[in-house]
Amino acid sequence: MNDTFAAALLGVIQGLTEFLPVSSTAHLALTQYFFGLDPDRFGLTFDVALHMGTALAVLLYFFSTWVGLLRDLLARRWRMPGLVIAGTIPAAVVGVLLQSLVERELRGPLLMAAMLVVGSLIFIAAEAIARRTRTMESLGLADALFMGSAQAIALLPGISRSGITISAGLARGLERADATRFSFLLATPIILGAGAKTLLDLRKAESLFARPDLVAIGFVLSFATGLATVAFLMRFLRTHSLIWFVPYRLILATLVAIAVALGTP
């Protein structure tokens, strides 16, 4: 596959799947695996550039919310900024402790297929027990930590960061739109932190900028596609459940298992 086309394809895939509850990590890894893309050009470091594009998209979409959080901090109104900070702690700690292990050992296609199934079951269970009677104004520390702990589980490729945190919010009785909104607020610092960590690693940073043209293509397309996708999902989940995404996840898991059984690639 042509490198330019590969960068564009991965950018679009990242933008679509980072916010839809289908697991962007699994989609990127499976695309790289089945198309045999060069890991030096399109591996984990390139993934970070794509994630930074979608991080910028969610920052822009929720710009007024982030400005409000900053004003709250400056005015010493700690409630909502404190909840966002508390909710990011579990995933940050797990990421620091286990990210390298996951990258080395837990990116096989069959494991991702299994996690696509597991995540689907979580969505179904969350929607089944959801009361959807609470708004973000009622969020407390226990809710933030519960959703943050769910986000930590999304370190496993195939689970879906957005899907599992929205599910956790539903399990705590939140309205689906508010669970989605808080899910995206929790995701943003984690995505930005992962990007900053890579840029501070000089060896990875050199790899990232070895082909700035490819990085630029992936970044721009992940940003543009991500911005459209987050806007779509915020509207979609006001009136539709996470279960709409379950058939796709199960079909993808089945296709991956069949492809591995047939020895592809």
- Give the chain's end-to-end CA distance (angstroms, integer): 14
pLDDT over 80 (residue 92): yes
Decide if 264 is inside a domain. Answer: no
What is the domain range of residue 189?
A: 3-258
| Angle separating helix axes 3-17 and 24-34, nearest 10 degrees | 160
**Which residues, listed in sequence order, are joined to residue 134 by a DSSP beta bridge?**
174
CA 44 – CA 8 distance, rounded (Å): 16
pTM over 0.85: yes
CA 41 – CA 212 distance, rounded (Å): 10
Residue 49 vs residue 65, higher pLDDT = 65
Two tokens at 98? 């286990």
Decide if 82 is inside a domain. Answer: yes
CA distances, 216 to each of 37, 51, 163, 192 (Å): 18, 12, 28, 17
pLDDT over 70 (residue 209): no
pLDDT over 90 (residue 207): no
Decide if 114 is inside a domain. Answer: yes
pLDDT over 90 (residue 5): yes
Span 169-202, pLDDT tens digits = 999 999 999 999 999 999 999 888 877 776 666 5
Span 107-165, pLDDT tens digits = 889 999 999 999 999 999 999 999 999 999 999 999 999 999 999 999 899 999 999 99
CA 84 – CA 10 distance, rounded (Å): 29
Decide if 201 is inside a domain. Answer: yes
What burial class does residue 189 get, using C-beta atoms within 10 Å of its C-beta: 0-12 exposed, 13-18 middle, 19+ buried?
middle
| Structure confidence at residue 125 (pLDDT) | 97
Decide if 263 is inside a domain. Answer: no
Q: Which one-letter DSSP state was computed for residue 136?
A: G
| Domains identified in the chain, total number | 1
Decide if 105 is inside a domain. Answer: yes
| Structure confidence at residue 198 (pLDDT) | 66
Q: What percent of the chain has pLDDT over 90?
A: 67
